[in-house]
């Protein structure tokens, strides 16, 4: 007996462990991916040198993988897809900001003393983001960046097979 | 044995086709749309704009539901279904320029916040299915840099 496309079950068909594991368990895992997010924040004022990476010392991530717990300045993409990036940053004076991916410039953001904005960015699993400021400044405690998966994590269900 | 409430199953209950299709499959389809639907498009080359030219995008990094096509209307992001979307642009230019969001060819949000060499905005709007969004450059002679991007993420579309 076959499953109706894409996954509907006809009366009398069994739900095998393969179907259960593919559809229900993966869906559950995907949902987990979707509701998690990563946050890196500064718990105290941080002196950042010219061209330096914004220093965050606190990981508020709600998923194992957004932080590697070593480079707390970074947030990692766990799953490939579109992400919502958000940052709230307060500096001692205006400075040009750059959002970087894997250490290279991804987006020049302009010059700000207070930066509070969001963007949709596309990242592949394992990519990391961080930020730099062009001018030596003090980054205020409470500043932080956030990354949240929006699309992706959806399994290509190749298994609709015979049961 | 009866089901506990709408969704919970008591020990020994069978999962019949109706329950599976109603609770799991519908939920899965809904989740798929919620999770998956979106587009991220970029420019592979620079674009010199005359006043009121629309910014075009030619590279689809992600496009799950034909939000974009690169031949006939490469300037458009077209909403696949009715419902809220997050729309985000990142458009650097060589000179200070202003931009206007157009919806179905009409001005939706006026020239955003003066002029800048970096236009980056993320907004939330609720277009009907088939609505297309474009970004108009208002500044004659501005060159949009290669690597500029536009992104759209479908948000809630209601339960099935």
Tokens linked to A21: 């594991």
Q: What is the pLDDT of residues B90-113, one digit of tens each?
A: 999 999 999 999 999 999 876 666
8 Å CB contact between A98 and A131: yes
Q: Which of B17, B32, B153 sits opposite A13 (nearest CB)?
A: B17
Picking from A41, A58, A108, A132, the residue whose alpha carbon sits closest to that of residue B147 is A108
The pLDDT of residue A162 = 33
Is B148's Cβ below 8 Å from some Cβ in A? no
Angle B130-B135-B137 from CA coordinates, rounded to 5°: 155
Q: How far is B51 from chain A (nearest CA, A)?
A: 23
Q: Which of B15, B32, B118 sits opposite A110 (nearest CB)?
A: B118
Tokens linked to A78: 């766990």
Phi, psi of B154 (to 5 degrees): -70, 130
Residue B27 to residue A109, Cβ atoms within 8 A: no
- Residues 6 or more apart whose CB falls under 8 angstroms from that of A20 comprise none
Q: How far is CA B86 from CA A77, A87, A145, B137, in A?
A: 20, 17, 19, 20
Q: Residue A154 pLDDT more than 60?
A: no
Q: How far is B127 from chain A (nearest CA, A)?
A: 18
Distance (Å, rounded) from C-alpha B39 to C-alpha A22?
Answer: 26
Phi, psi of A151 (to 5 degrees): -120, 170
Residue in B closest to A118 by C-alpha: B122
Q: Which of B24, B35, B88 sits opposite A24 (nearest CB)?
A: B24
How many CB atoms sit inside 10 A of residue A103's CB?
Answer: 11
Go through chain B and tell me how many residues it has: 160
Under an 8 Å CB criterion, which residues of A touch B? 7-13, 15, 23-24, 27, 30-31, 34, 81-82, 84, 107-110, 117-122, 150-154
Q: State which of B12-16, B46-50, B122-126 shows the largest mean pLDDT.
A: B46-50
Q: What is the pLDDT of residues A8-54, one digit of tens each?
A: 777 777 777 777 777 777 777 777 777 778 899 999 999 999 999 99
Distance (Å, rounded) from C-alpha A89 to C-alpha A110?
Answer: 13
Question: DSSP 3-state assignment of B37?
Answer: coil
8 Å CB contact between B90 and A107: yes
Distance (Å, rounded) from C-alpha A120 to C-alpha A99?
Answer: 12
Is B24's Cβ below 8 Å from some Cβ in A? yes
pTM of the full structure: 0.81
Q: How far is CA A140 from CA A39, A45, A55, A114, B56, in A?
A: 16, 4, 10, 10, 39
Question: DSSP 3-state assignment of A118?
Answer: strand
Is B57's Cβ below 8 Å from some Cβ in A? no
Residue in A closest to B36 by C-alpha: A151
Question: DSSP 3-state assignment of A77?
Answer: coil
Q: Residue B157 pLDDT more than 50?
A: yes
Distance (Å, rounded) from C-alpha B90 to C-alpha A121?
Answer: 10
- Contacts B32 to A, Cβ<8 Å: 154
Distance (Å, rounded) from C-alpha B91 to C-alpha B87?
Answer: 13
Residue A119 to residue B35, Cβ atoms within 8 A: no
């Amino acid at each position: 007996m076959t499953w109706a496309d894409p996954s509907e079950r006809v009366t009398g068909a069994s739900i095998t462990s393969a179907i259960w594991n593919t559809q229900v368990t993966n869906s559950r895992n995907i949902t987990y991916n979707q509701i998690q997010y990563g946050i890196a924040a500064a718990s105290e004022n941080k002196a950042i040198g010219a061209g330096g990476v914004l220093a965050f010392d606190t990981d508020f991530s709600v998923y194992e993988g957004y932080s590697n717990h070593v480079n707390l300045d970074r947030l990692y993409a766990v799953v490939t897809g579109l992400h919502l990036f958000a940052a709230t940053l307060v500096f001692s004076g205006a400075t040009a900001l750059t959002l970087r991916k894997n250490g290279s410039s991804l987006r020049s953001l302009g010059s700000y003393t207070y930066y509070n904005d969001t963007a949709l960015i596309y990242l592949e699993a394992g990519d990391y983001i961080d930020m730099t400021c062009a001018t030596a400044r003090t980054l205020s405690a409470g500043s932080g960046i956030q990354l949240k998966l929006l699309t992706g994590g959806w399994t290509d269900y190749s298994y609709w097979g015979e049961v | 044995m009866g089901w506990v409430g709408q969704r919970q199953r008591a020990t020994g209950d069978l999962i019949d086709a109706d329950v599976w299709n109603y609770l799991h499959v519908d939920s899965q389809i809904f989740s798929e749309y919620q999770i998956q639907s979106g587009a991220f498009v970029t420019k592979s080359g620079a674009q010199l704009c005359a006043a009121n030219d629309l910014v075009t995008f030619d590279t689809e990094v992600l496009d799950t539901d034909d939000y974009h096509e690169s031949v006939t209307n490469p300037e458009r992001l077209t909403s696949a279904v009715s419902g809220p979307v997050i729309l985000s642009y990142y458009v650097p230019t060589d000179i200070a320029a202003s931009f206007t969001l157009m919806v179905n060819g009409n001005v939706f949000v006026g020239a955003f916040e003066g002029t800048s060499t970096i236009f980056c905005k993320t907004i939330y709007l609720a277009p009907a299915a088939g609505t297309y969004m474009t970004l108009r450059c208002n500044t004659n002679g501005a060159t949009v840099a290669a690597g500029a991007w536009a992104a759209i993420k479908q948000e809630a579309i209601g339960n099935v």
